[in-house]
Amino acid sequence: MVRWHLLTGEYPPHPGGVSDYTALVARELARRGQQVHVWAPGDAAGTLEEDGVTVHRFPGLFTPLGLARLTRELERVPGPRRLLLQYVPHAFGMKAMNVPLCAWFASRRQDERWVFFHEIVYPWSLSSPPRHQVLAGITRVMARLVSGAADRLFVSIPAWREHLPPRSRALAEWCPIPSNLPTEVSPSKLEETLASLGEGPWLGHFGTHGPHITRPLEKVLPPLLRVDRQRKALLLGRGSRQFVAELAERYPDIASRLHARDDLAAEDVAAHLSAMALLLQPYPDGVSTRRTSVMAGLALGRPIITHTGHLTEPLWAESGAVILVKHGAPDAVIAAAERILGHPEESLALGTRAERLYQERFALEHTIETLLRPSA
């Protein structure tokens, strides 16, 4: 039996979307009887068994010196070997310009080489600073090195194909990212969560809280909360507490109805999402199938308002599983939110379509079936 070797720049307990995704895939492959190894950087060297997966951690694993050690350690594992590189340029160190890793991957002709492009290149623009243009150029060279050597390629969104050479573009398989949270919440857990939150309705957001997310949220949350004093907002994920503190300072009239949770276990995050009457999920480049934060809400059947953009796939509009609003149109978001909050039957129908789309297209089982299915 071929042995899987997942190469990743992050793995639990290190946080991150790729970390969670790699753990989900590794554990499910192991559950289905596959022999799975994960190779990831770590503060200390060591190998242990976790949920049927052999996890190898070494400091500086993807540096030139670390790659020499990785080669030695790989050779100690009997073949045949299938390398599955979880590709995100900035996850491998060297300031997202780890050409040695790409060259090493290309050189492993004795192994089966697969690559999953979660992200692929740094955006390029003539108006960008010279250092950004250098980064954009080098990430394109890296992508060509890796894709040209790969026996099988996957992309998290179809748009990434555009950055691949023609031959690789034709071979790349679209494999959407599933939710990295539990996709079911028991009635008792939901009841407990609702009791702890108190009366609503609750407006929620799940994800990171960088400026590209918080700016559109700030334009819609205060107006929505002011319309109805029973409404409250809950921000879930990294950076949420700081964002809520800043909002409370700028909008003292709604400060008591702004809440944050950034330290919950995955099961509790899912329970809190299930308690939301509406999720607001803005994305500057549009919702796409690489956004695990929107997948979490879809899987739990929550009504979602999100943004359309240049990375948004047609299936979002075709399915009617979310409400799509053009980025930079806060009035449209507010109007859509008022409509959903005022019409329970429409909210229920939207949530039903969301859960159906997730089960039909994005559930983890589809990812695993794609990986186990022979390549076309």
Collapsed DSSP state (helix, strand, coil) of residue 334? helix
The answer to whether residues 306 and 357 belong to one domain is yes
Q: Out of 148, 175, 202, pick the residue that ends a domain.
A: 175
Q: Is there a single domain that holds both residue 203 and residue 123?
A: no
Does a structural domain hold residue 375? no
Residue 277 forms part of a structural domain: yes
Q: Quick check: bond before 80 cis, omega within 30?
A: yes
| 369 assigned to some structural domain | no
Question: Are residue 344 and residue 296 in the same domain, yes or no?
Answer: yes
Query: For 267-276, b where at least 16 C-beta lie within 10 A, e where not — what string?
Result: ebbbbbbbbb
CATH number of the domain enclosing 228: 3.40.50.2000
Does 376 map to a domain? Answer: no
Same domain (yes/no): 192, 168: no
pLDDT of residue 31: 97
The two tokens of residue 38 are 């994960």
In a shared domain, residues 99 and 134: yes
* Residue 354: count of CB within 10 angstroms of its CB: 24
Whether 182 is in a domain gets the answer: no
Task: Assess whether 158 and 197 both reside in one domain.
Answer: no
127 and 168 in a single domain? The answer is: yes
Shared domain for 28 and 141, answered yes or no, is yes
Query: What are the E-state strand segments in 59-151?
Result: 81-87, 112-117
Range(s) of the domain holding residue 329 = 187-362
Q: Terminal CA-to-CA distance of the chain, rounded, Å?
A: 20
Domain boundary among 110, 140, 175: 175
* 367 within some domain: no
147 and 36, same domain (yes or no): yes
The predicted pLDDT at position 1 comes to 86
Q: Check whether residue 154 and residue 74 sit in a common domain.
A: yes
Count structural domains, the chain: 2
Q: Per residue of the chain (376 residues), give pLDDT as tens.
A: 899 999 999 999 998 899 999 999 999 999 999 999 999 999 999 999 999 999 999 999 999 999 999 999 999 999 999 999 999 999 999 999 999 999 999 999 999 999 999 999 998 888 889 999 999 999 999 999 999 999 999 999 999 999 999 999 999 999 999 999 999 999 999 999 999 999 999 999 999 899 999 999 999 999 999 999 999 999 999 999 999 999 999 999 999 999 999 989 999 999 999 999 999 999 999 999 999 999 999 999 999 999 999 999 999 999 999 999 999 999 999 999 999 999 999 999 999 999 999 999 999 999 999 999 987 6
Element (H, E) at 46: strand 46-50
Residue 180 is predicted with a pLDDT of: 95
Same structural domain, 237 and 331: yes
Contact present, 114 and 154 (Cβ < 8 Å): yes
| The predicted structure's pLDDT at residue 93 | 92
Rounded CA separation 4/47 (Å): 16
Which residues pair with residue 184 across a beta bridge?
A: none
Last residue of a domain, one of 141, 175, 209: 175
Are residues 171 and 191 located together in one domain of the fold?
no
Q: What is the pLDDT of residue 376?
A: 66
What is the three-class DSSP state of 62? coil
pTM of the model: 0.94
26: in domain = yes
Q: Is position 21 within any domain?
A: yes
